[in-house]
Amino acid sequence: MHKPAKVTIEDVAAAAGVSRQTVSRVINNGPNVKPAVRQRVEAMVEQLGYVPNLSARRMGGARSYLILSINDRARTFENWTSGRGNDWVDQMLYGGMSECERHNYHMVLELIDTDAGTTIPQIARAVGSLRPDGVILTPPHCDNLELVAWLERQGIPCARVGHYEGGNFVDVFMDDEGAMREVTRHLLDLGHRSIGFLAGPLNYGPSQKRRKAFREALAEAGIPPEAGPIGAGNFYFDMAVSVLETMLAAPSPPTAIIADNDKMAFAALHVAADRGLKVPDDLSVISFEDTPGVRFSVPPLTAIRQPTAAMVGKACAQLIALSKGEEGMGAFELPYEFVVRATTKAPRG
């Protein structure tokens, strides 16, 4: 059976002996089609192998069936080229594509620079050419006020991953403060009385929340601020190393380190080895990320597993609902996991 290269709605209409609006109603599950007619049309769609052309639907005024997912360009490329894997993107695609599949949507990933002057023009290009039904913003783009305002002006529904505000957005996030409290308490319960936090950059929303929760948890336990140093990291290995060196050179250095991401946790492992500190015997380490490398590191890291796939999946679901004219805006919290592996233990002595 050699099907013609391009079957259009007109072909189906002719084959079924109806007008093209009727076919349109059938494929869009519209009302007002006699069951017998609907069946006849469906049979023809099947037989001719008709698939509606997305561009034409779009031009006709329908939705685009496209979700545009925006990631930090430089960081994503960096992860890819370093060959260290890119679990965040993997999980994002996993969650997003699974959800999009279910609704016959397509997810397109675009990498956008974070420089002040280029972000908006780049997104404008992507949005203008693709005209997606919704845009998913991940850190740090989701915290870019100017960008978010621009998107709002364009009237494009926007989901933010790792942002809490809600309002006229689809915000999906995990309880960063709760996670930090849980992690800090875990260390306190083990007996640690001096804990260092290797924090991420200040413009990362979640990092801010974690800083706050970290301070609070220590304060509640009666630990003085000096015994809870916060090192300002940038999520990269090298800087984390030097910050750690300083932290550990203090008169009464921390016996445990909480790292805001994996690379910095690895840095902690590295620095510990350099100084002859055994992990977890001499130094406990916890990561706030849980990529494959972490699970297979030696020793395997105790870590917070972020619900990346679930967050992005939820973002897609809400954006798709919105595009159908349903309700969808709001703030949605997804559960994280705290995975205790082999890098935390009671301090010596």
Q: Find which of a copy of itself, DNA, none residue 20 binds, CB within 5 to 8 Å per kind.
A: DNA
Smaller CB distance to a copy of itself: residue 217 or 322?
322
Q: What is the DSSP string of 117-145?
A: HHHHHHHHHHHHHH--SEEEE-TTGGG-H
Residue 116 CB neighbour total at 10 angstroms: 10
8 binds DNA (CB under 7 A): yes
86 binds DNA (CB under 7 A): no
Torsion of CA 178, 181, 185, 187, to 10 degrees: 110
Contact with DNA (CB under 7 A) among 1, 2, 29, 32: 32
292 binds DNA (CB under 7 A): no
Q: Contact positions toward a copy of itself, by CB under 8 A?
A: 2, 5, 49-56, 58-59, 64-65, 77, 79-81, 83-87, 89-91, 93-94, 97-98, 101, 104, 106-111, 124-131, 153-155, 290-293, 295-298, 309
| Amino acid found at 153 | R
180: Cβ contacts below 8 Å, ≥ 6 apart? 209, 210, 213, 214, 217, 258, 288
Smaller CB distance to DNA: residue 35 or 349?
35
CB of 119 to DNA, least distance (A): 22
- Pattern 34-53, DNA, x by CB under 7 A: xx-xx-----------x-xx
Contact with DNA (CB under 7 A) among 33, 112, 174, 258: 33
Q: Which two tokens stand for residue 46?
A: 């099947």
Binding segment toward DNA, per CB under 7 A, in 22-30, 191-199, 212-220, 290-298: 22-30
Phi, psi of 129 (to 5 degrees): -85, -35
- Tokens 């008169």, located at residue: 251
Cα distances from 80 to residues 84, 86, 201, 202, in angstroms, run 7, 6, 21, 24
| Contacting positions for DNA (CB under 7 A) | 6, 8-10, 18-25, 27-28, 31-35, 37-38, 50, 52-53, 56-57, 59-62
